[in-house]
């Protein structure tokens, strides 16, 4: 039977950690008087390790024929890496701790994504109903911590984040293994899949989409607070975007029946082009920022669900874990690293509005790759 609640609980705590870490850890680093470049480098380490680590762990999972031992070990080592932040305030100390945290933390999600689809089997359209609990966890964490940080020192971010990592470890220990059934594609070299034009177009486009989000994930909270928004309001705005994302995850089975994956992705990239221009140039108007956050439904929710579905369709059998790992490495890893580093340089060099405009340009590049490179979608609705 489908272990719905155990999988959902893992997603809940995994994304609750992101909800505590991503919006507020940069504020904590700024309180320690790190420069924008230092903050960009440190936060980009999460993406650097997502470029390197998932492929190693995906290869190892394919060799072992099991995923849960790696997920459990990664959760334990993530706690060890994060704990170092309690004992240092130097850049080098944070660099080493962040590298250790990111190397192991980035290992787990692609494996859990593959494990989830293995459990779902022919019910793959139910992925959104499980994944939405990750969004719920994000909402609770970002709202709760935003409220707390208006009343407590920024160092509270460390304690809350550590507790959430502990929740990830408990859930990892409860996850049941599910080995993939043998598939005729197991004999096909993975390079044959990667040489397909539509596969290459998707991965390059995903690289640009993550790069487009670089300034959002590193500097969005700092940007809003600098323009007079309270930490509670920052939390509400992050939450608004994730609530919109939850609605999309719930609607994905119907959307996938009505539209092709390619059409959903093209729409998502177009929304990203608009969203980052609004953030960069419309921060003084709350209603525009609210609109930009609602577009998160497309720029992450619909985009991620469609991308994951495509990878699950193309990489089957024993290739599934490595396919998900490649998606994570190329998009959140390489693309996120580029976006974080570029935004770290551009923030002081050319200013926030032009930095977000660069994000819009990255999204436009991704849209062009989907439009030109992914011509057809065998096996899915043509509408």
Q: What is the pLDDT along the chain (383 residues), one digit of tens a residue?
A: 778 899 999 999 999 999 899 888 988 998 898 888 898 888 878 877 877 777 787 778 777 778 899 999 999 999 999 999 999 889 999 999 999 998 898 778 888 888 887 888 777 767 878 888 988 898 899 888 888 888 888 899 999 999 999 999 999 999 998 766 655 555 667 788 888 889 999 999 999 999 999 899 888 988 999 999 988 888 889 889 888 988 998 888 889 888 999 999 999 999 999 999 999 999 999 999 999 999 999 999 999 889 988 988 888 777 777 787 788 788 877 888 888 889 989 998 999 999 999 999 999 999 999 999 997 544 444 33
Residue 245: the pLDDT is 86
d(CA 205, CA 185): 25
Is residue 363 within 8 A of residue 212, CB to CB? The reply is yes
Q: Which helix H or strand E contains 182, and what residues bound it?
A: none
Structure tokens at 47: 């993406």
Residue 185: the pLDDT is 53
d(CA 130, CA 127): 5
d(CA 280, CA 233): 18
Residue 382: the pLDDT is 35
Locus of tokens 């394919």: 62
Contacts of 45 (CB under 8 A, 6+ apart): 95, 98, 99, 102
Q: Where are the domains of the chain?
A: 7-176+190-373
Q: Which of 359, 112, 137, 109 is nearest to 242 (CA)?
A: 137
d(CA 313, CA 230): 43
Residue 370: the pLDDT is 95
Residue 381: the pLDDT is 43
Q: For the full predicted model, state whether its pTM sits above 0.85.
A: no
CATH architecture of residue range(s) 7-176+190-373: Up-down Bundle (1.20)
Distances (CA, A) of 275 to 18, 144, 205, 271, 292: 21, 26, 17, 6, 5
Q: Would you report the helix, strand and coil content of the chain in percent, each value rounded to 5?
A: 85, 0, 15
Structure tokens at 201: 């177009």
3-state secondary structure of 260: coil
């Amino acid at each position: 039977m489908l272990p719905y609640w155990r999988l959902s609980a893992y997603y809940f705590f995994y994304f609750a950690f992101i909800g505590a870490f991503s919006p507020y850890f940069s504020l904590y680093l700024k309180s320690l008087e790190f420069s924008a470049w230092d903050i960009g480098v440190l936060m980009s380490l999460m993406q650097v390790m997502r470029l390197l680590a998932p492929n190693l762990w995906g290869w190892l999972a394919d060799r072992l024929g099991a995923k849960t031992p790696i997920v459990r070990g990664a959760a334990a080592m993530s706690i060890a890496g994060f704990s170092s932040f309690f004992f240092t305030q130097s850049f080098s100390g944070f660099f080493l701790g962040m590298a250790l945290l990111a190397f192991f933390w980035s290992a787990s999600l692609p494996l859990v994504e593959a494990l989830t689809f293995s459990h779902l089997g022919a019910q793959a359209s139910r992925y959104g109903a499980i994944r939405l609990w990750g969004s719920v966890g994000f909402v609770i964490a970002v709202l709760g911590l935003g409220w707390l940080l208006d009343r407590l020192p920024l160092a509270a971010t460390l304690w809350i984040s550590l507790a959430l990592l502990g929740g990830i470890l408990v859930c990892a220990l409860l996850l049941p293994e599910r080995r993939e059934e043998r598939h005729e594609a197991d004999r096909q070299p993975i390079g044959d899949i990667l040489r397909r034009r539509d596969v290459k177009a998707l991965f390059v486009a995903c690289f640009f989409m993550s790069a487009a989000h670089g300034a959002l994930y590193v500097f969005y909270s700092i940007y809003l607070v600098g323009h007079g928004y309270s930490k509670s309001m920052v939390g509400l705005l992050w939450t608004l975007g994730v609530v919109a994302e939850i609605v999309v995850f719930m609607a994905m089975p119907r959307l996938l029946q009505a539209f092709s994956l390619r059409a959903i992705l093209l729409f998502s990239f177009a929304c990203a082009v608009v969203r980052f221009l609004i953030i960069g140039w419309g921060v003084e108007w709350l209603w525009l920022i609210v609109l930009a956050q609602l577009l998160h439904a497309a720029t992450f929710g619909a985009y991620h669900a469609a991308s994951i579905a495509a990878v699950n369709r193309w990489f089957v059998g024993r290739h599934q874990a490595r396919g998900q790992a490649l998606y994570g490495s190329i998009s959140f890893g390489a693309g996120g690293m580029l976006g974080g580093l570029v935004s770290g340089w551009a923030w002081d060099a050319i200013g926030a509005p032009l930095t977000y405009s660069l994000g819009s340009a990255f999204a436009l590049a991704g849209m062009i790759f989907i439009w030109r490179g992914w011509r057809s979608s065998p096996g899915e609705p043509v509408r």
